[in-house]
Chain A
Amino acid sequence: MQQRVAQNLNETSSFGYPAAVNSDTAEDRIRASGLSKSYDNTIALSDVNIDVRDGESVAIMGPSGSGKTTLLHVLAGIIQPDAGEVLLQTKTGQKDVAKLNDEERSDLRLVEFGFVFQQGLLIPELTAMENVSLPLLLQGVARDEARKRSEVLLDELGLAGLGTRRIGQLSGGQAQRVAIARARVTGARVIFGDEPTGALDSKTAHEVMTALLDSTVGQGRSLIVVTHDESVAERCSRIVRLRDGKIVQTKSETQR
């Protein structure tokens, strides 16, 4: 694990953040095909195909129960599909996320992916800085190094001087920025957002979405967001709409 982190750091810039890439010429980061998933008698996904390139942002939309969260979870290796494959281009080669066991998927999520949830879901008793450092500590990075890298990210996200505050002492928007910093701190290439602005007012939601886009596609990473909010989806380079577990519409920026 520590070797992978070191490799990760060497491949990227001083703090592990790659430069922005042109998404038109970029290669597929995730290529998922034939994804199906059922819960008892409910079909959550049915033969879904989706590709996500480096530097691309994809909004997954659809009514409640359409399968959007299930799709996000399958792509992120949180759950396994009943059928289909999720090919991920990692630093060490291509992997089928759907075929990995629980332990391997945990490792993969820690190194390759970042997550921003609706409520942030940060550890309330830790400071902002400690929350951001957490994925690095889990990877075995020394605490001082983790602290330095977290500090840079917090500064970048407009949270300079707030690193020692506990999560309860931050506003909703600030807490979401901490969550963004945590998602980015390992240098993950793909960031998943599950309603990342869902609990925020519209002004703060806009600011947080700006921060999320700058931190991800702005730096050549891929962003996959599940959202109900059209204004959030409109800012992504592609909108994928689901209904009854199937993709019913895909619109790129040029088609809107």
Chain B
Amino acid sequence: MKWRALWLLVRPTRSDFSTTLLPIITFAVIGMVVFFVTALARIFWVVQDSTDGYKILAVALLAVLLVPIASLGSSAAQLSARRRDERLATLRLIGASARWVRSTALIEASMLAAAGVVIGILGYWLIAPLLSLLVVAGVQVPLGAVWLPLVWIPFLGFAVVSVAIISAVSGLRQVVISPLGVRARVDAPRIHWVRLLISVALVIAAIILLQSVSVSWGAIGITAAIVGVLLAVMVAQNVAGPFVVRLVARRKLGVATTAAELIAARGILESPKSIWRQVSGVALTSFIVVPVGAVLGYLNFIETSVGILTAQQILFFGDIRTIILAVVFLSFVLVVCSVVIIQSAAVLERRDLYVSLSRIGMKVDVIHASRRISLMLALKVASIGSAILASTLVSPVLAVVAFNSPLFILATILCIVTGVWLVRLSLLSTRPLLRSILANPDRAL
């Protein structure tokens, strides 16, 4: 009986774009990127070289893309779990326990994620041949090397679905499920300043670890150290990011003079973690691009001026550039997807409110401006803040590169600016949705 009721309530309907299609599309993108990146990492992993440098690169690639993938997965899963408000409330009303309702939401979130992952696998099979265009260690990647072993597919798929389940649990913790409705908690979240201290401690630990690394640690030791540093920075950014964004939004609230600025600042204060989740991928990319750009510039300087590098080392540095470009490109793709999905869902979720605001005379430009201001504020904190932090850490190398290979500095800045503009444009892509909702509101509204 219960399961029959469950099916009646969770089955997708035609109007369920935000509840069903958005999470499925998101997990399709995530699935595709996960399989694609794993295939790329595998290509690097199997390269035979005496220093195991390619293995380190492969692991670093996976570690770096972990955050944007997890963030996007988390957003999508939380969406699918929280979007069922009325249906979950109906289940409670007809006598289902809160626990059972939560289980229902989790089952649904995992089903949607699984459906998305299946589509993602198909997408990977379509785009994987592009990897054969790469030249790694001086050799063109053979077509056969771009396919992951079949046994890996279910394993990776299960990992993505697991992210969905964990995120859905977290999303449901933020809502109160009662027979009268599922509502978000009323009070604005408080973020403790201790977050900042934790982040500083993590960054210091990462610096100490980075400075202690030496060739004597061996390939596994160096890989572990790099992964450890990256993880520490990721955690530090995600712990401190919402706190810093909230501080900046508070300041913005104090000086807001227009309706758009006021709504934007309050919107961030309402959910700093949510807005940070949308841009966290850019934060990590900016943090990585600066030191890597500096190191590449430095190596370019050595390579061109002294000529002490071996042919193998020159090839290796070229491959590092390939990896970095892949990381930057993919992380921006994920951030763009994240922004489009979360913002589209937000427009759909708040359609009644936007329609009512339009009726009191608020123009679509103002509504859009408030969304743009809040996203750009978080984006600036993420990109500029991370770039400044990273520049401080590698300032000696940066100074040498700025003097000898300024093009690398310019390329790094260009990379970050391009990413920021891509995100801004991705927000613009949700404007037609907003316009169409305002132009064709439900007649009952």
Contact = CB atoms under 8 A, between A and B. Distances in A.
A20 interface: no
Contacts of A182: 360
B211 to A, nearest CB: 44
Nearest to B358: A106
A117 B445 CA distance: 9
Contact of A137 (B262, B267, B358, B443): B262
B306 interface: no
Contacts of A107: 361
Q: Please report whether the interface of chain A is mostly helix, strand, loop or mixed according to DSSP.
A: helix
Given A76-B359, A110-B361, A166 B262 contact: no
B257 interface: yes
A107 B357 CA distance: 13
A138 B257 contact: no
Contacts of B352: 119, 121
Given A106-B358, A169-B186, A121 B353 contact: yes
A155 interface: no
A117 to B, nearest CB: 6
Contacts of B257: 137, 142-143
Contacts, number: 75
Nearest to A170: B186
* Candidate in B256, B257, B359, B361 with the most chain A CB atoms within 10 angstroms: B361
A126 B263 contact: yes
A135 B262 contact: no
B247 to A, nearest CB: 17
Interface in A99-151: 103, 106-111, 113-115, 117, 119, 121, 123-126, 130, 134-135, 137-138, 142-143
A138 B359 contact: no
Nearest to B259: A137
Given A76-B359, A115-B360, A138 B259 contact: yes
B209 interface: no
B204 interface: no
A50 interface: no
Nearest to B360: A115
A158 interface: no
Interface in B258-274: 258-259, 262-263, 266-267, 269-270
B295 to A, nearest CB: 43
Contacts of A70: 443
A199 interface: no
B8 interface: no
Given A76-B359, A111-B361, A143-B257, A123 B353 contact: yes
B363 A106 contact: yes
Contacts of A211: none
Contacts of B353: 121, 123-124
Contacts of A125: 188, 263, 266-267, 269-270
Interface in B182-207: 186-188
A169 B186 CA distance: 7
B444 interface: yes
Contacts of B269: 125
Nearest to A137: B259
Contact of B186 (A76, A121, A123, A166): A166
Nearest to B353: A121
Contacts of B443: 39, 69-70
B356 A115 contact: yes
A109 B188 CA distance: 32
Nearest to A168: B186
B296 to A, nearest CB: 43
A82 B323 CA distance: 60
B181 to A, nearest CB: 12
A126 to B, nearest CB: 5
Contacts of A117: 356, 359
A162 interface: no
A225 B362 CA distance: 22
16 contacts: A69-B443, A106-B361, A106-B363, A110-B362, A111-B361, A113-B361, A117-B359, A121-B353, A125-B267, A134-B262, A134-B360, A134-B362, A143-B256, A143-B257, A143-B262, A169-B186
Interface of B: 186-188, 256-259, 262-263, 266-267, 269-270, 352-353, 356-363, 366, 443-444
Name the 7 nearest CB pairs between A and B, nearest first.
A110-B361, A121-B356, A168-B186, A125-B270, A137-B259, A109-B361, A125-B266
